[in-house]
Amino acid sequence: MEETLNTMSYLIAGYAVIFGVTLGYIVSLIVRTHNLRQDEGLLLSLDQGEDEG
Amino acid sequence: MDAKPKLLSVLDVVTGVLMAAATLAVFFYAPTERVMGAVQKVFYFHVAAGWVGMLGFLAALAAGVAYLRTHDAKWDIIGLAGVEIGMAFMLINIVTGSIWARPIWGAWWTWDPRLTTATIMELAYAAYLMLRQGIEEPDRRARFGAVYAIVAFISVPMTFLSIRIFRTIHPVVIGNGGDVPGAEGGFSMTPKMTQVFMFSLITWSVLFVDIFWHRIRLGKLANRVEQLKLKLGGRTA
Amino acid sequence: MKPFLRTMGAIVWKDLAAEWRSREMISGMLVFALLVVFIFNFALELSPATRSSVTAGVLWVTFAFAGTLGLNRSMAAEKDRGCLDGLLLAPVDRTALYFGKMLSNLVFMLAVAVIVMPVYSVLYTVNLMQPGLWAVVALGSLGYVSVGTLLASMAVQARTRDILLPILLFPVLIPLLVAAVKASSGFLQAIPMEEIWPWLNLMIVYDVVFISTAFMVFEAVVEE
């Protein structure tokens, strides 16, 4: 009968990485979408401003 | 600006619930493995992340072929989305594999075929992103991206094979066959383990679809902004 | 088929003639390759005992590095002198361009190998003049230039072209290099042929797969 290894800290580290990377990627998606939305709004208003001018 | 589809909002909620349920199942429902102890539970999400990572790269390959046939910008957006998501999930796969290997195999890193191939893949797709960054013209960027996505994916099985043959001829360095899963660090799954494993696979596939969808929407937005910039730039110049 | 071969021949001829006049590429690759061999000598302390096991590795790393130098030069020359645009205006088969460039790159690779290997033999008194070893060099160089020509023609069209080629090339090249190193050291250490065959087979598969892939996608790389 082999002894069960105490590997709890590795388990916690593993799931910290899993959720860290996943959440990090989701946050990067949100930030990039947000920035692009702002850019798009600005460019659209510029575009319309030029059409009138 | 297109509104977020209702189906996507539903999918977001479903993904969140499934992820919470799968995490609870891993920690509280799945039994602790007798020899390896708690760290064995990394296995469920480790394999699931590797699976969806491969799905991402496979999507990039398919999108690459489709782009070269149709020259439709939509396929370029899908290809880039696949590579990016594949890289994020493959990174999870590699790092969790390494964390598992430390107590079980006694080293953070071994030159195991799977581990090595996954890392070479990660490097190849990093090269894909660098190639895209170096090209300003959208059409050319899409064509080169498609070509490299195809070339990179084709090399993967051969890389795996070469390291596989390398290992069987080469003497095994760590332990006695320590880096061949199944020889050491292998285990047979109990029914409860199989249930959690299958549930994790399904959950991560849903997560993949959800993130993929969001990334494609981001890609479309980025394309619109780039078009607008070109349009305005052309007028002021 | 005839015009295809004629275009291909014309490109090879043009490259060889230009190289014969300037000799800048071969001499560059060659000096670089010899320098790498010398650096390895001091970095690894190539004593007679370690020599037999690392020779194959040293040779292939040398060829791989010298090769990127040559590929970059050969494709950048096309791009900068406007040759590529001229060739693209001509009503010729695009894949003939690929095979032409690939063949001339292959000639340059083999030319470097033909000089480096005897020099290495003399420097370290190992016999590299074995037919089996030359077969490995031929198969390896063919695979190398088949992917290398395709990726170099993309890399030279990018902003970051000098650092881009090795980054694009090496991850894809790993199976070929692993096979080439193992097969070469197999011949050098005279291990039985049935242990070398898997590596030779892998190289043949690699060559066939990447030549046909490049054949299918090359048009997308040069189209304007």
What DSSP assignment string belongs to B63-83?
HHHHHHHH--HHHHHHHHHHH
The answer to whether C116 and C30 have CB atoms below 8 angstroms apart is: yes
Residue B43 C-alpha, separation from nearest chain C C-alpha, in angstroms? 27
| pLDDT (average), residues C55-62 | 92
User: How many domains would you assign to chain A?
Assistant: 1
pLDDT above 60 (res B237): no
Give me the half-sphere count of Cα atoms (radius 13 Å) on the Cβ side of residue C10: 13
> What pLDDT does residue A3 have?
64
CB pairs under 8 A between A and B: 99
Range of the domain at A40: 29-53
Which positions in chain B touch A47 (Cβ < 8 Å)?
Answer: 228, 231-232
CB-based contacts of B36, cutoff 8 Å, min separation 6: A4, A5, A7, B103, B104, B185, B187
Looking at residue B229, its pLDDT comes to: 87
Quick check: C175 pLDDT over 60?
yes
Mean pLDDT to the nearest integer, C93-109: 90
Close Cβ partners of A43 (under 8 Å, ≥ 6 residues apart): B225, B228, B229, B232
Q: Which of C21, C19, C165, C13 is nearest to C100 (CA)?
A: C13
Where are chain B's structural domains?
Answer: 39-232
A6-39 pLDDT, tens per residue? 778 888 999 999 999 999 999 999 999 999 999 9
CB within 8 A of B146, min separation 6: which ones? Answer: B63, B64, B65, B67, B68, B75, B76, B79, C217, C220
User: What pLDDT was estimated at residue A1?
Assistant: 42
Does an interface of 3+ CB pairs under 8 Å exist between A and B? Answer: yes
Per-residue pLDDT band at C75 (split at 50, 70, 90): confident
pLDDT tens digits, one per residue of B125-168: 999 999 999 998 899 999 999 999 999 999 999 998 888 887 76
ipTM: 0.90
Q: Is the pLDDT of residue B235 over 80?
A: no
Using the beta-carbon criterion (under 8 Å), do B221 and A11 form an inter-chain contact? no
Answer with the residue of higher pLDDT: C55 or B186. C55
Rounded Cα gap, residues C136 and B67, in angstroms: 36
Cα angle: B105, vertex B111, B114; to 5 degrees: 90
pLDDT for res B1: 52
CA distance B206 to chain C (A): 30
Banded model confidence at residue B45, pLDDT cuts 50, 70, 90 = very high
